[in-house]
Structure 1
Amino acid sequence: MTEVVDKVLEALRGNNLDKKIDALAKLEEELIEETPLEPQEINQLIPLLKDAVKGSQVALSNAALTCLNPFVSLIAETHPSQFKNVVLAFATVVVDKQGDSKDKTRDTALQ
């Protein structure tokens, strides 16, 4: 999955909102197909996904939240030793989004 992850990392580090959302959609597709991630890819994705979820851009935050379920599920299956770190990294931001005033963001975080 290195090519997809590289594109996601590049997009999330950039300034183009549409590219970020498109990259997250492609990442979600790969995660749903259960394409394995390497440990270093997981470590690189965590802070950028966390920032995307926390961000003020609603569309980006929702796209990142949508990726989290397959991301965490895949890690639980393929890298159980990293599962705890991943859950801890995202727990506070997801709980925060569950209290969001926007229905779509709140509903996405609850999934």
Structure 2
Amino acid sequence: MQQVTGQKVQVAYVDQGYTGENAAYAAAVHDIDLQVIAKPEGQTGFVLLPRRWVVERSFGWAARFRRLARDYERLALTMQQFHFLAFVTLLLAKGVFRATSP
């Protein structure tokens, strides 16, 4: 998508699962600023976290696609492509991609 639009991801909001060296290295290679959204120390139960709703909403949208409900695929690439197809379908339905004049 970045090659088509000429734009690139600048900031990635991630949860605490992406605090390791691998995530930091991958972000540095692609010049992406990782911003970890973490629960406050000692907090238990539900906590509304900033920007987390965007991820949860996206997962909710993806859950409507039957093929993504379970992982029946033998190859990880197949499942990756189904996710890509689902989100392209969602973005097209929302009118995100608009025709631009040359």
Do they superpose with TM above 0.5? no
- Report which of the two has the higher share of helix: 1
- Report which of the two has the higher share of strand: 2
- Using CA pairs below 8 Å that are at least 6 residues apart, which structure has the higher relative contact order? 1
- The structure with the largest alpha-carbon Rg is 2
TM-score normalised by the chain length of structure 1: 0.25
TM-score normalised by the chain length of structure 2: 0.27
